[in-house]
Amino acid sequence: MNKIVLNAKQMAVVQKYVDGSYSPFFSSTEDQEAMNQVLDMANELEEELDAYDESGDDLVKWFWKQYQKQEQQ
């Protein structure tokens, strides 16, 4: 598994998402693009690890946990 690298913008949108304040309709284009990038990375990782069961019903939260685990190591 490659190291997950998130820039500040990507981390910020994930944090908004986790907090419940991210909006699919009313976020800025920059935020939407950052979230798209996060979702692409999350999809790739989920596929690479065949983690479709483990990721459960929330891909972003699963991906964020993977990132946090990695940063703690």
Partner 1 sequence: MAKTSGSNSNSKPPKSGGLKENDSNYKGKVGKMESLASISNPAVYKTVKESISRFHSVLGVRQKDIKIATLDAGVGGVHLTANGVSKQVVLNKQVFNGKGTTTQSIAKWAEAGYKSGHLTKTNKPVAHIVTHELAHATWNSNLSSPNAKAASSSVNTLYKKWKKDKSKSGYGKYATSNVNEFFAEVSTKAVHGKADKYTKAVKDIIQKYKL
Please, are residues 45 and 51 in contact by the beta-carbon 8 Å criterion? yes
Binder among 36, 54, 70, 71 for partner 1 (CB under 8 A)? 36
Task: Please tell me whether residue 61 binds partner 1 under the rule CB under 8 A.
Answer: yes
Nearer to partner 1, 40 or 73 (CB): 40
- Burial profile 52-66: b = 16 or more Cβ within 10 angstroms, e = fewer: eeebeeebbebbbeb
SS3 47: helix
Q: Which residues bind partner 1 (CB under 8 A)?
A: 16-17, 20-29, 32-33, 35-36, 39-40, 42-43, 46-47, 52-53, 57-61
